[in-house]
Amino acid sequence: MLFEVRCPGCHVLGWCPCAECIEALSDPEPASVPGAESVALLFSHDGVGREFIHALKYRGERAIARWLGESLALAYLAAPSLPARIDTAPSLPARIDTVTWAPTTAAHRRSRGFDQAETLARTTAKALRVRPARLLRRIGSKAQSGAGRAERLHGPSFSGRVRAAGRRILLVDDVLTTGATLRAATAALLDAGAASVHVAACARRGHDGAASVA
Ligand SMILES: [Zn+2]
């Protein structure tokens, strides 16, 4: 059987993604996440970048998930920690114990059959040679109607599991829009006693896309 992969950007056969589409990705606007020691972003959520995210999010394509996970791992290792530690040059990347994710809503998980954030956490953890861990619970997303009105108004909220205590955590997600999801998830992990939280997300969606909080 022929194993067929296609680039999600241009649909060329044999590469996922192809070098030309990687080259065509545009740089993300920087973002900060309160409480996180570093924030790594791969590209902006437009053009080819949006195609990459759609292939992950709606089609669950394994090859792009693996490439995104490996890219998040590299971006995390290269991201400067905040505040910059000028006394420890050359600075080594901060060590982490595990990779986790902000779970999507139950409704999204049901309709797609998987959680793209969990897929990313697993591929990122594999690239970093640590075990992924389910450390967050999404609060109030049980309603049949999806995220629900409260979440649309105030953003999602999470609670951290006991196992987060004392751990150095890399939190990953597919898209960062307003940062509300990653901010709430970071706060929940710190509340649960996490030693530190670093953040890595694939695509930065600009303010014109802010109406749909990711
Ligand atoms: Zn391509």
Distance CA 84, CA 22 (A): 29
Cα–ligand 1 centroid distance for 17 (angstroms): 6
Q: What pTM did the predictor assign?
A: 0.87
Rg (CA), the chain: 17
Task: Report how far ligand 1's centroid is from the alpha carbon of 23 (Å).
Answer: 9
Q: What is the pLDDT of residue 3?
A: 65
In DSSP terms, which residues pair with 101 in a beta bridge?
Answer: 172
| Ligand 1 centroid – CA 91 distance (Å) | 35
Q: How far is the CA of 11 from the centre of ligand 1 (A)?
A: 6
The rounded Å distance from CA 56 to ligand 1 centre is 15
| Residues 154 and 139 sit within 8 Å (Cβ to Cβ) | no
CA of 30 to the centre of ligand 1 (A): 25
Ligand 1 centroid – CA 7 distance (Å): 5
Å from CA of 67 to ligand 1 middle: 13
Percent helix, percent strand, percent coil in the chain, to nearest 5: 35, 20, 45
Q: How far is the CA of 123 from the centre of ligand 1 (A)?
A: 21
Tell me how far the alpha carbon of residue 205 lies from the centroid of ligand 1, in angstroms: 21
Give residue 42 CA to ligand 1 midpoint distance, Å: 16
CA angle 79, 81, 87 (to 5 degrees): 125
| Whole-number Å distance between alpha carbons of 82 and 30 | 13
- Measured CA to CA, the distance from residue 65 to residue 58 in angstroms comes to 12
Give domain limits for the chain.
29-209
CA 203 to ligand 1 centroid distance, Å: 17
Counting Cα atoms < 13 Å in the Cβ hemisphere of 29 gives: 13
Q: What pLDDT score was predicted for residue 88? A: 52
Cα(8) to centroid of ligand 1, in Å? 6
Kindly list the distances between the CA atom of residue 207 and the CA atoms of 28, 45, 70, 120, 179, in Å, as whole numbers in the listed order.
Answer: 12, 11, 27, 24, 11
Six-digit token string for 19 = 């070098």
pLDDT tens digits for the chain (214 residues)? 456 899 999 999 988 999 999 999 999 999 999 999 999 999 999 999 999 999 999 988 999 999 999 999 999 998 876 555 555 555 566 789 999 999 999 888 899 999 999 999 999 999 999 999 999 999 975 543 455 666 666 789 999 999 999 999 999 999 999 999 999 999 999 999 999 999 999 999 985 444 444 4
pLDDT at 76: 95
- CATH class label, 29-209: alpha beta
- The whole-angstrom separation of Cα 161 and Cα 136 is 6
Ramachandran angles phi, psi of 156, nearest 5°: -75, 160
Cα 170 vs. chain centroid, distance in angstroms? 9
